[in-house]
Amino acid sequence: MKISCKKEEFSKGMHIVQSAISSKSTLPILTNIMIETTDKEIVLSSTNLELSVTCVIKAEISKPGATTIPGRKLFEIVRELPSKEFDLEVTTNNQVKLTSKNAVYKLVGMSKEDFPVIPQFSESSSFSMKKDMLEEMIRKTRFSVSTDETRYVLCGIYMSIEKGKIKMVSTDGRRLSFIQNSISVDKKKSLKLIIPNKAVVELMKILEQLGDDINVSIDVKENQISFKAENITITSRLIDGQFPNYEQVIPKESKVKLTLKTEDLLRTTRRVALMSSEKSQSVKYSFSKKSLVISAKTQDMGEAQDKLDVSFDGEDFEIGYNPVFIIDVLNNIGSEEVTLELTNSLNPCVIKPSSGDYLAVIMPMRV
């Protein structure tokens, strides 16, 4: 293989794919990135067996081929190269020679054959959606993904496509977030899958670097999902398992409905939460006529209280929440006003924005 590339473009590509490079691995090949030539381009790929990232960049190809090179080292080298372009050549035994102006590097690569095969998808079954919609849906659900490995089906975002609607749901067993949008897919297309949190994190990192008006094409095959945006493809294994029946736990009715300014509720909760203890985090919300008193108290530390005027005129009641759960929702809801739907101090509370098909369910605490 012999190629010549632009330093800047190669660096960008390396930056993208390095997210799936393992830093320490029992399988040394996983610390490498693979470089493969196509007609006028090269494909950079990395994988940690769960998650793979590939990025296609332009290059001049004098001799086609493929090799794998220690990823972090190559990234560091390319950044320090003296000129804007460099040549890369693979000689026998995967010896890699990299030259730029007068600088010459010789690197020990490994054969392409040792590199895990990254699943390929046929474009025919894919569907696409706007990058900002995908980003928003993930942002509004990712915070309630579980990290409890004993309930592994909750350690990811559940995604379903049915009747032209895409839904994303996540729950850690204590709270849940749900979002739904229409997309242009075949109405008969039906999918149900769980995207692991690691993939979500990497996908978001990459989406944030892209422009707004881009289409992301999504494809699913067996237990793999791929997201393709411009020249970048992320492939991840899916979580194998049955996501709980979330519809069942979303309350259908409520006794109390309150609309509040998001900012007011957020700031007040934050202010008061300072006086809730780390170990038994809870903030009390006391509803009485026209007012909502938010308070927290910790033994040996002290207490805090604040008040909001609200349009409430039911019977007085109190309910406790982990303030983090409330803050997470309000930080991400992206709406000036929110509606709280409550029944009593034992039942979950639903938070909705003023518009859009989004909701968050939060279970109370017994204080």
Partner 1 sequence: MPAIKLLSDDVINKISAGEVIERPASVVKELLENSLDAGASHISVEIKKGGTKHIRVSDNGIGIEEEDVLTAMQRHATSKITCLEDLSKINSLGFRGEALPSIASVSKFGMITRPKNRNTGFAVKMSGDRNPELQKTGCAAGTTMIIEDLFFNTPARLKFLKSNATETLHITNLVQQIALSCPEINIELKEDGRKILGPLPKNQTPLQRIASLFGSRVADNLVPVHSENNFIKLSGFITKPALNYPNNKYQFFFINKRSIRSRLLGHAVMKGYGSLLANKRYAGVFLFIEIKPEFIDVNIHPTKREIRFTNENAMHTFVVETLQKFLRQQEVIPEIQASPAYEKPDIARDGRIKEAISDYITRNKSSYRSPARRDLLKQEKFDYRKEKEEFEKTLTDTMQPLAQINNTYIIAQGSDGMFIIDQHAAWERINYEIFKSLYGGNNISSQSLLIPMNLELPSGNAIILKDNIQFFSKMGFEISEFGENSYIINAIPAMFGDRIDYKQLLSDMLDLISESKGQVGSSSGIDELTDGIFKIMACRASVKAGDNLSREEMEELIKGLNKCSIPYSCPHGRPTMIKMSTDELEKRFKRK
Number of residues that bind partner 1 (CB under 8 A): 30
Determine if 299 is a binding residue for partner 1 (CB under 8 A).
yes
- Binding to partner 1 (CB under 8 A) within 328-357 occurs at 346, 348
- Centroid of chain to Cα 162: 22
231 vs 281, beta carbon nearer partner 1: 281
d(CA 257, CA 234): 42
3: three-class secondary structure by DSSP:
strand
Determine if 281 is a binding residue for partner 1 (CB under 8 A).
yes
Cα–Cα–Cα angle for 59, 114, 9, nearest 5°? Answer: 20
Closest CA to 272 of 21, 166, 281: 281
- Binding to partner 1 (CB under 8 A) within 303-322 occurs at 320, 322
d(CA 235, CA 330): 31
Let me know if 151 is exposed, middle or buried by CB neighbors in 10 A (0-12, 13-18, 19+): middle
10 vs 358, beta carbon nearer partner 1: 358
Q: Which stretch binds partner 1 (CB under 8 A): 50-58, 193-201, 273-281, 334-342?
A: 273-281
- Contact, 142 vs 207, CB < 8 A? no
Chosen residue from 28, 173, 241, 314 binding partner 1 by CB under 8 A: 173
Q: Residue 257: how many CB atoms within 10 A of its CB?
A: 14
- The least distance separating partner 1 from the CB of residue 208, rounded to whole angstroms, comes to 23
98 vs 296, beta carbon nearer partner 1: 296
- The least distance separating partner 1 from the CB of residue 140, rounded to whole angstroms, comes to 17
Q: Which stretch binds partner 1 (CB under 8 A): 70-78, 147-155, 189-197, 331-339?
A: 147-155
Closest CA to 193 of 232, 163, 162, 234: 162
Q: Which stretch binds partner 1 (CB under 8 A): 39-47, 70-78, 253-261, 279-287?
A: 279-287
Checking phi first, is residue 222 left (phi over 0); if not, alpha (psi -120 to 50) or beta? left
Q: Which stretch binds partner 1 (CB under 8 A): 4-12, 65-73, 146-154, 215-223?
A: 146-154
Read off the tokens for 153.
């089906």
Q: How many residues does the chain have?
A: 367
Determine if 360 is a binding residue for partner 1 (CB under 8 A).
no
97 vs 151, beta carbon nearer partner 1: 151
13 vs 156, beta carbon nearer partner 1: 156
Chosen residue from 182, 259, 280, 291 binding partner 1 by CB under 8 A: 280
CA atoms in the 13 A half-sphere facing the CB of 328: 20
Q: Which positions from 230 to 269 touch partner 1 by CB under 8 A, shown as an x/- string?
A: --------------x----x--------------------
d(CA 77, CA 70): 11
Q: Which amino acid is at 203?
A: L
Determine if 367 is a binding residue for partner 1 (CB under 8 A).
yes
Chosen residue from 176, 193, 234, 265 binding partner 1 by CB under 8 A: 176
- The least distance separating partner 1 from the CB of residue 362, rounded to whole angstroms, comes to 8
Determine if 154 is a binding residue for partner 1 (CB under 8 A).
yes
Handedness of CA 126, 213, 42, 77 (dihedral sign): negative
Chosen residue from 31, 46, 128, 146 binding partner 1 by CB under 8 A: 146
- Contact, 365 vs 318, CB < 8 A? no
CA atoms in the 13 A half-sphere facing the CB of 29: 16
The site for partner 1 (CB under 8 A) is made up of 146-151, 154, 171-176, 244, 249, 279-282, 299, 320, 322, 346, 348, 361, 363-367
